[in-house]
Structure 1
Amino acid sequence: MDNALLIGLSRQTAMMREMSVVASNLANVNTTGYKSQSMLFDQYLMPVASEQSPDKTLTFVQDYGQFRNLADGEMRATGNPLDVAINGEGFFKVQTPQGVRYTRDGHFQLDDTGQLVTSQGYPVLSDAGTPITFAIDEGHITIARDGTITTSRDGISASEQQRGKLALVSFPNMQALRNEGDNLYVTDEQEQPAANPRLIQGSLEGSNVKPIVEMTNMMEILRSYQSAQNLVQSADDMRRQAISQIGSPA
């Protein structure tokens, strides 16, 4: 009975964490550049868990990590020249008070000083590791496929100037990225230039969350949780019945 309770509780604990991941996916279905996540589960074998176990081996549920789906989200044209979508591999670099962070959210804007910043006001970094700043009269901004930024005054090609190149980086282990809020990631992995960068100016990458899939997962988790709850309840009822019989006078 103790084993049944422990097995049921281990499964319920894992499913609670899985439900939290599914809820996070659904909450970010409209978040620019968001990558959905899923839980990774494994069996945990407990040898000699109880003398009452015939084979001396019990199997518990163990969630040992999360998997991030790095597939591209849907590309949405916005017409805003400061919106930039990444098609394929890579992350933008931004400077935050906590240090350099990474994001797929290319919804950029200019602050009061002409600096290119994220929606949260964090400076976007160039491949040289410096912020990108524009002059007041530079009204035509062009961002090339490789991230090179050029500007011109009043659309005159003779006045074109290069203002730097957006940093686009990748990592040896992309699954090591950790969410840090504000659509930002942090990692201990060594960054490296993204191979064959492909940027699309005037577009944004949508979330790759599939709401119908996530809702289906949520219903399956609820059914599995209820099944585990029934197992726990049955084991508890058996325990109560055994105690009642043992405590009854002969």
Structure 2
Amino acid sequence: MQSPSYIALSRQTALWRQMDVVANNIANMNTPGFKTESMVFTDYLMRSRGSDGPWSDTVAYTLDLGTHRDLSVGPMQETGNPLDLAINGRGYLEIETDFGRFYTRNGRLMLNADGMIVTGSGHPVMSTEDAPFFIAPNESTITVSRNGTVSTENGDIGRLRVVSFEDEQALLRVENGVYDAGEQEPEEVADAAIQQGMLEGSNVEATQQITHMIEVQRAYESVQKMIEAESQRQRQAMKVLSGAQNA
């Protein structure tokens, strides 16, 4: 395989990864707090083989550097559910998992069988006291203030731990809307703006992403045709050379 095929293959590989990212965006357009992701590309220049002079040719391979996350706040949706919470501004809820502390903006919460406030996946939501929240069986009214203080008719039971990070782009998505901070230390957000009975919708623009998916699919097919044409050209060239040698 020569340079044109390698170049085309690098582009096709990048397009395949880009399609995965776009498909994931579309799959999560109804996931509360989900942030749109996009691929980041660059060209990798390499001197072509056999060109050692000062004016040697270079070939450009496509290299994907990773993904960029759109951190803009999604649309606020009123639900009336007291355990639906939206963060109107910066910050993430801290949750406890079997693999350590993770972070999310998906505020669709619920009570488990033990009266603990958990995420839809069953992960406890943590307080500033580094403890989960428990609602007693005889408590029926749950109120969450703007600063994240959770209370019932019997009084305050704690304040939600809302944190931010120096580099939010470095957060690693481990599942839909849940992130691992890695080596970054969370910093508590003192001015967190919690809205009870609301959910932050995904900031995915459905029409834009579907259009993008079509464009990526067409580009992938175009590169595939180019690879096939180049393969055919090489086979034809070998046939001609073979015929000339046998003449």
Moved more, 191-200 or 212-221: 191-200
Identity over aligned pairs, percent: 40
Instruction: Report the counterpart of residue 203 of structure 1 in structure 2.
Output: 198
Q: Structure 2 matches for 1:1-250, cutoff 5 A?
A: 2-47=2-47, 49-51=48-50, 55-152=56-153, 160-181=154-175, 183-188=177-182, 189-248=184-243, 249-250=246-247
> Match of 2:42, as an amino acid?
D
Please list the CA deviations of residues 49-96 of structure 1 after superposition, one character each: whole Å capped at 9, or x if unmatched.
311697331110000110011111111111111110111111101111
Q: CA distance change for structure 1 residues 62 and 195 in 2, over 3 Å: closer, same or farther?
A: farther
Aligned-partner Cα distance in 2 for 1:230–1:36: 30
User: 3-state DSSP class of the match of 2:126?
Assistant: coil
Please list the CA deviations of residues 137-186 of structure 1 after superposition, one character each: whole Å capped at 9, or x if unmatched.
2211110111011211xxxxxxx511100010000000111111253211
Give how far 1:105 is off.
1.0
User: 3-state DSSP class of the match of 2:12?
Assistant: helix
**Aligned CA-pair RMSD:** 1.6
> Match of 1:236, as an amino acid?
S
Q: Is the 8 A contact 2:79 2:197 kept in 1?
A: yes
User: 3-state DSSP class of the match of 1:180?
Assistant: strand
> Match of 1:171, as an amino acid?
F
Q: Is the 8 A contact 2:125 2:133 kept in 1?
A: yes
User: 3-state DSSP class of the match of 2:175?
Assistant: coil
Aligned-partner Cα distance in 2 for 1:238–1:51: 21
Aligned-partner Cα distance in 2 for 1:22–1:51: 39
Q: CA distance change for structure 1 residues 8 and 182 in 2, over 3 Å: closer, same or farther?
A: closer
Give how far 1:120 is off.
1.6
Pairs aligned (count):
242
TM (norm. structure 2) is 0.93
Moved over 4 A (4+): none
Give how far 1:241 is off.
1.3
Please list the CA deviations of residues 9-51 of structure 1 after superposition, one character each: whole Å capped at 9, or x if unmatched.
000000000000001111111111111100000010112x311
> Match of 1:185, as an amino acid?
Y
Aligned-partner Cα distance in 2 for 1:182–1:7: 33
Aligned-partner Cα distance in 2 for 1:96–1:226: 42
Question: Structure 1: 5+ residue runs without aligned partners?
Answer: 153-159
> Match of 1:187, as an amino acid?
A
Aligned-partner Cα distance in 2 for 1:195–1:34: 23
Q: Is the 8 A contact 1:89 1:195 kept in 2?
A: no
Give how far 1:195 is off.
4.9
TM (norm. structure 1) is 0.92
Aligned-partner Cα distance in 2 for 1:97–1:227: 45
Aligned-partner Cα distance in 2 for 1:23–1:177: 20
